[in-house]
Chains A and B, each alone.
Chain A
Amino acid sequence: MMVLGGIGFTAPWILAALAALPILWLILRAVPPAPIRRRFPGVALLLGLTDDETVSDRTPWWLLLLRMLAVAAIILGLAGPVLNPEAEQAESSGPLLFVLDGSWAGATRWPQQTEAISAQLTRAGRLSRPVGFLVLTKPETPVFQSADVWRNRLAGIRPAPWQPTEATLGRAAEAVGQIGDFDTLWFSDGLAYEGREAFLTALQSRGTVEAYQTAANVLAMTPPQYDSGAIQLRALRVAGGEAREITIQAQGRDPAGNARILASVPATFDAGTTEAEAALSLPSELRARIARFDIAGQRSAGATALTDDGLQRREVALISSRESREGLELLSPLHYIEQALAPTADLIKGGLDDVIPANPDVIVLADVATLSEAESAPLAEWIENGGMLVRFAGPRVAASDISRIDEAPLMPVRLRAGGRSVGGAMSWGEPKSLAPFNDTSPFFGLAIPDDVTVSAQVMAQPDPTLASRVIASLSDGTPLVTRKAIGQGQVVLFHVTATAEWSTLPLSGLFVEMMERLAVSSATASADAQSLEGTTWTPLRVLDGFGTLEDAGTLPGVDGVALVTADTGPLMPPGVYGSGERRLARNVVSADTILTPVTWPAGVPVRGLAVAPEQPIAGWLLSLAVLILMADVVASLSLSGRLLSRSNAALVIAVIAFTLPVDVRAQDAEEEFALNATSEIVLAHVITGDQQLDETAFAGLQGLSDTLFFRTSVEPAMPMSIDLENDELAFFPILYWPVTPNQPRPSDEAYAKLNDYLRTGGLILFDTRDADIANFGASSPNGRKLQELAAPLDIPPLEPLPADHVLTRTFYLLSDFPGRHIGRDVWVEAAPPDAEQIEGMPFRNLNDGVTPVVIGGNDWASAWAVTNNGAPLLPIGRGFSGERQRELAYRFGVNLVMHVLTGNYKSDQVHVPALLDRLGQ
């Protein structure tokens, strides 16, 4: 392949043909364009006329140039031009090792990276180099195979949600050590990590190393913190650079259970900084729904921050037996527990019957002995459904008979009467300290301060179940905290008071930690190793490298300390871990992570991932040549005068017309519609969607039009069917609207048009076609539909058509208005209240204008309907009386159209006798 100016040619020798172009120029120039033969009688007048220029009419230079260009394009196209020809690789045929960081940092750009790898595989395949792969996050001994094999397996290589560590690099170096010399292509994710340099040196000792790395910045999210009423979010990026705004999205499930973005907040990296912060304040209901935060547009585990209990503030209801008296706050049974919970939980106070409907997570009963039936029943139900009841003992519990003989349902154990007091003034012995927590206890691992002593407690009755219910005990083995599961919830009893009266426990830090362990409160700060001592956490849902949460399956549990201290890796993937009620999220990036950009030594060439693939452009050039030749056709025709003969011009115009946007045709259709509707009077009906009804309406209007044509000076053209949504209404004097229960309700725009139509003098004839059996109430489906259809219309008050209405005499004198039915009332606009009959006048002077609506139910269209040859379409009534009824229906139609077209003209006519009378006098 020869490369000229960035374009390679696969067959460069064809370019030699370009040298022939000047010769072609001369030849083409010498040949004049071919003449046209024309029949022309006037040739007799031309005889003897000579051309002014003796030189023959040569092809103009620009036409020649055009043809030269076409020929040049063809030659270039045939020479096989290729855009972005690959620079020739060093002709090495040794094995090639692809080293991939394979961490979350590259996940967002993984498709580009895969593409780049694929391009390199293609080249390696062309050179028949054996190819091996080494993914540093999951190192295995590379197996050198042909590039085609690897190409098929490429899609299976996925980024891991952790970074390569020294350990994995050590294994990688070991794996590399087992194979011979090779060249290396290192696809880096852009993040530096421990031990890279050493591994690079090891690779360089085996062959050449080339690095591929995206120019895009790596973004990451640190775990969200809940602080001062808002969720504090922090995003990191590897390199400073210019200011950039990102959007942090809170993902979770909405109440319907669909995953969606619950909230989003922008955060800005200032120029040169690598941190962006944002605060998000959400109601606790919504906050509890958030499963994770991620950065819009990023698709990596690092840009995803999972949430855990740290964001969730439990609602705790505190209930004590005594109303706290003013000034005795330190003696309040709830004081210490309030102090312990206030920073991490939302506290609710009130009566038991008030707080249960609020469905708190925890209810604390401090020294409450007896509960009424009305209280205990809903409380028990609440516990069954997952509530947690924490009870504290106290003088009242000790004095009461609760759970004395039988175990009370809301107590974990039976109690002995009176309790006991140790180490007091009146008793022997020292106050008791706490025994170390058993490893089945949720408190296991908590350090017990020495100064925690218990001087009084309520005693549990020895029971077969007692041992399993004790989760903390005193040094003498008596239970201090007992627990019982009820349904999905549990009851926990502290055998001491919630105040410092019976023990110093509420004064110590241990009390707070115990609350945390019981998930009464939730830790706000990220859990530290100490507080997790002795716990085991099982992964519930884990992240993959792309930041997708997956079910953890059967992954083994993790020690609590390791969960916060150890690096993430195959044994401990990032994800959500659970222990009992508690949830802890292990994120890829922790709060103190610093992202370091990778630096390559000077000897390693670094390339971007953007591959400009080889692009043959022969097709383009040949197409260009064809285009030029087509232009040449047009130019030649115009030169020889053959282009714009009249038929050709019509063709050209037709072509242009067809290539113009459809709008023109739409406009034409609109124009045609307007012309059809306005060149003659046209009656119209509304399309209801019921085909048979629409056809009947159309036939009816045709029959009416014919009748009008024969009998009156109104000569309508063919009726039209009107789509209320799209067609202009203003052209039609009258709209016939048959009502059917299942026609769609017109859109708001259509109603706006209809109201406009009514206001500007249009008339709508509503026909419920049900013989008015419902009297326009809602008892017939058509009547209901009519009410629904007409509700948004701007219709004046109506009345049954009065006997002296102008509609009774605009053309025929009518007293009733039958259609297919002989209904009773036809409703029209009500007469003004001041209309009075003048003495000597047969009629009142009613409305000045045309009634905007006429409503009836006589199914007039069926009576009017005619077939194409003018015969009645539908039978009406029986025999002659039926025909009479049809005739009256026609007369009504004629009167109606006359009324629309002439208004109150006939009303005025009734004054004529009076006027003549007056003139005569």
Chain B
Amino acid sequence: MIQPLTLRARAEEQAERLPALLARAEHLAGAVLLGAHGRRRAGMGDDFWQYRPAQLGDSRRMVDHRRSAMGDNEYVREREWQIAQSVMLWVDQGASMRFTSDKGLPEKIDRARVLGLALSILLVRGGERVGLTGTALPPRSGRPQIDRLAALLNEDDAADYAPPEHRAMVPHARAVFISDFMGDLSGVQTALTKAADRGVRGVLCHLLDPSEEAFPFSGRTIFESVGGTISHETLKANDLKGRYLERLAARKAELQDLCALTGWRYGLHHTDATAQTGLLWLYGALDTRSGVAA
């Protein structure tokens, strides 16, 4: 069990390294919720909103030197908050995520939480509204939401393989699913098709432990799921390696197909890679405009 405070701190740490992300609303028009700022135009450009005098706390990089050079005061160029997008997060909290093959590696669930929360922080910093799928935490903006997210993400699920939560999806929002997708794929399929129906597009982050990719086992072995509900005994574990890898590849292919059908993006992340790479990918994947391949 990770303390929310440390999780938050580590997530902040991850989030600090990237500039604020402004999620682009694909569907500018229509039934999107308005952000904090309306669509008032200033006339000088799409993104520009106003110059304001630099205040204490503004970082130097925010100073607009072209404007500031005209006078003695320093100005900050503020962009218009065009659209606040809703992003819904689902982090698999099932028992299968509480696994690591090596003491040096984080558990999958740990990595998933860090990634999810870091992404949330980025999004919130960019003014987006972030929440969890389902009814537990509807999307909201602001720092307090991060605290709530952190608290909710820390709850463990007793079930071995948790299906994605697909209820109460905000139409035309975006969604991020982080899971190892080891369980039944029908739940994922349901969630994705339902999301596609509602115009929700998003990202599947397939999070795997390196041992799940390599299957470095041999000898007579009884494999048990982390929750203990499923077990499988084999006399020669190394004989199973080929077939296991085939099945894993098939599963990845299936997920990719599903994403292709529903307009989601699929990404694979391993716990032995740095969280930063995962976050970067998620960041990029969310930032990509519709139809543009990353």
Contacts and interface: CB of A to CB of B under 8 A. Distances in A.
A837 B251 CA distance: 86
B266 to A, nearest CB: 18
A43 B224 contact: yes
Given A46-B240, A51-B235, A57-B235, A41 B219 contact: no
B82 to A, nearest CB: 42
B188 to A, nearest CB: 13
Given A44-B161, A44-B183, A641-B218, A38 B223 contact: yes
Interface string A126-162: 0000000000000000000000000000000000000
A42 B219 CA distance: 17
A33 to B, nearest CB: 6
Nearest to B102: A646
B239 A47 contact: no
A43 to B, nearest CB: 4
A40 B234 contact: no
Given A49-B240, A51-B234, A41 B212 contact: yes
B221 A35 contact: yes
B248 to A, nearest CB: 6
A355 B224 CA distance: 111
B99 interface: yes
B221 A38 contact: yes
Interface string A38-64: 111111111101011100110000000
A349 B27 CA distance: 137
Interface in A194-245: none
Interface string B245-270: 00110010000000000000000000
Interface string B35-70: 000000000000000000000000000000000000
A45 B247 contact: yes
A791 interface: no
B235 A42 contact: no
A29 to B, nearest CB: 15
Contacts of B215: 42
A36 B216 CA distance: 14
Interface residues of A, number: 28
A38 B234 CA distance: 11
Contacts of B99: 39-41
A43 B225 contact: yes
A88 B223 CA distance: 64
Chain B interface size, as a band, is 35 or more
A46 B235 contact: no
A46 B183 contact: no
A285 B41 CA distance: 125
B86 interface: no
A409 to B, nearest CB: 105
A525 interface: no
B148 interface: no
A46 B226 CA distance: 14
B202 to A, nearest CB: 23
A35 B236 CA distance: 10
Contacts of B223: 38-40, 42-43, 46
A646 B103 CA distance: 10
B224 A39 contact: yes
A647 interface: yes
A49 B230 contact: no
A294 to B, nearest CB: 71
A717 to B, nearest CB: 29
A40 B225 contact: yes
Interface in B191-229: 209, 211-212, 215, 217-226
Interface in B177-197: 180, 182-183
Given A35-B220, A35-B222, A46 B244 contact: yes
A670 B231 CA distance: 52
Interface string A638-650: 0111100011000
B225 A52 contact: no
Interface string B146-171: 00000000000000010000000000
Q: Is the interface of A mostly helix, strand, loop or mixed?
A: loop
A34 interface: yes
A470 to B, nearest CB: 112
Interface in B84-132: 96-97, 99, 102-103, 108
Interface string A17-37: 000000000000000111111
B115 to A, nearest CB: 18
A51 B244 CA distance: 12
Contact of B232 (A39, A49, A639, A640): A49
Which of A34, A41, A53, A642 has most chain B Cβ within 10 Å?
Answer: A41
B209 A41 contact: yes
B243 interface: yes
B226 A41 contact: yes
A41 to B, nearest CB: 4
Which of B103, B223, B239 has most chain A Cβ within 10 Å?
Answer: B223
B212 to A, nearest CB: 5
Nearest to B94: A41
B232 A46 contact: yes
A639 B226 CA distance: 25
Contacts of A47: 230, 232
B239 A42 contact: no
Contacts of A33: 219-220
Contacts of A45: 182, 244, 247-248, 251
Contacts of B226: 39, 41
Contacts of B209: 41
B237 interface: yes
Given A36-B219, A38-B221, A51-B239, A46 B96 contact: no
A781 B96 CA distance: 79
Interface string A76-107: 00000000000000000000000000000000
Given A37-B222, A37-B224, A641-B219, A42 B248 contact: yes
B236 A51 contact: yes
Nearest to B225: A43
A641 B102 CA distance: 16
A841 to B, nearest CB: 48
Nearest to B217: A641
A41 B182 CA distance: 7
A41 B236 contact: no
A641 B236 CA distance: 10
B222 to A, nearest CB: 5
B72 interface: no
A32 B220 CA distance: 9
A44 B183 CA distance: 7
A35 B240 CA distance: 15
B236 A38 contact: no
A828 B180 CA distance: 73
B71 to A, nearest CB: 39
Contacts of B96: 41, 44
Contact of B230 (A36, A38, A43): A43
Contacts of A49: 232, 234, 240, 243-244
Nearest to B232: A46
Which of B108, B226, B237 has most chain A Cβ within 10 Å?
Answer: B237
B220 A57 contact: yes
A161 B222 CA distance: 84
Interface string B131-146: 0000000000000000
Interface string A775-813: 000000000000000000000000000000000000000
B286 to A, nearest CB: 26
Interface of B: 96-97, 99, 102-103, 108, 161, 180, 182-183, 209, 211-212, 215, 217-226, 230-240, 243-244, 247-248, 251
7 contacts: A32-B235, A35-B233, A36-B219, A36-B222, A39-B99, A39-B224, A51-B239
Given A38-B223, A40-B99, 8 more contacts: A32-B220, A33-B220, A35-B219, A37-B222, A39-B223, A41-B226, A45-B182, A57-B219
Pairs A-B, 4 closest by C-beta atoms: A641-B219, A41-B96, A641-B218, A640-B219
Interface of A: 32-47, 49, 51-53, 56-57, 639-642, 646-647
